[in-house]
Structure 1
Amino acid sequence: MPRIEPITSPEVVEYPGLWSNCLRVGDTIYLSGLTARANDKTTILGVGSAYEQTRVIFTKVKALLEAAGAGMSQVVTMTIYLTDMADNREVWRARAEFFEGAFPCSTLVQVAALATPEILVEITVQARADATG
């Protein structure tokens, strides 16, 4: 039976005792909802820009996947939470910079609010380390 292995990266701040950003169970990698919060735990990067926040988030996703022994081409599914559906084109523009070939399955949801008013985007990801994309 595979064990649950916490995965960390110096590029992504951890919140010990609250949640794990990334867990690997066998060849499956689970990422919590990531936002554009900086490593100082208070600053939000890309305030006012869903495009910039999405780029920050995908940079974090990439760092965590690499720490888990995988990469962006192994992302199987993601859920994207937006506070304003009008920002969807900006999210897709940023997404196209990080993915090519078989794009992951994806769900896009508008929500009333995220952790702080400055956060416009939050993304969860699942990947398979044994997959090729």
Structure 2
Amino acid sequence: MKKQRFVSGAVREPAAGMWSNCLRVDDLILISGMTARAQDGESLLGDTAYAQARVVFQKIKDLVEAAGAAMDDVVKMTIFVTDMGTNTEVWKARQEFFSGDFPACSLVEVAALAKPEILLEIEAVAVAGCSAD
């Protein structure tokens, strides 16, 4: 078994010694919680749950593909939202990135995320090649 870290130029990497955005162990791919923070690490992309979810799903897609897999290889997601009432916005964005059998998913309302303007955070687990026929 070998652990590898993958990066994408489209996704800002954390400071050294903090965490890894994307790790792959054999065919298992683990994506840390992604938010809609821009490349500068401070500003946000999107001011609605739908807009932020689209940004986050794109980041997950970029990382999954960097690790040699596809979005339909994502088997589990945990979505943290600050307002459960925005769930339909999140589901609408999710439908734009997945087809076939959607991943298993948990949606959890939290009191707050890293900054008040961050409306959601999503982490994902994929298994490379599992969606191939």
Question: What range describes the TM-score normalised by the shorter chain of this pair?
Answer: over 0.9
2 CA distance for matches of 1:97 and 1:110? 22
Matched residue SS, 1:113: coil
Structure-1-length-normalised TM-score: 0.96
Letter in 2 for 1:83: T
1 CA distance for matches of 2:126 and 2:74? 4
- Report 1:63-74 matches (<5 A): 63-74=62-73
CA RMSD of aligned residues (A): 0.8
Matched residue, 1:59: 58
2 CA distance for matches of 1:85 and 1:26? 35
1 CA distance for matches of 2:129 and 2:56? 23
Matched residue, 1:95: 94
Matched residue SS, 1:109: strand
**Structure 2: 5+ residue stretches without partners:** none
1 CA distance for matches of 2:127 and 2:119? 27
Matched residue, 1:37: 37
2 CA distance for matches of 1:43 and 1:73? 29
**Cα deviation, residue 130, structure 1:** 2.7
**Cα deviation, residue 132, structure 1:** 1.2
Matched residue SS, 2:58: helix
Letter in 2 for 1:52: A
Q: How many residue pairs align between the two structures?
A: 131
2 CA distance for matches of 1:60 and 1:124? 11
Matched residue, 1:81: 80
1 CA distance for matches of 2:37 and 2:114? 10
**Cα deviation, residue 97, structure 1:** 0.5
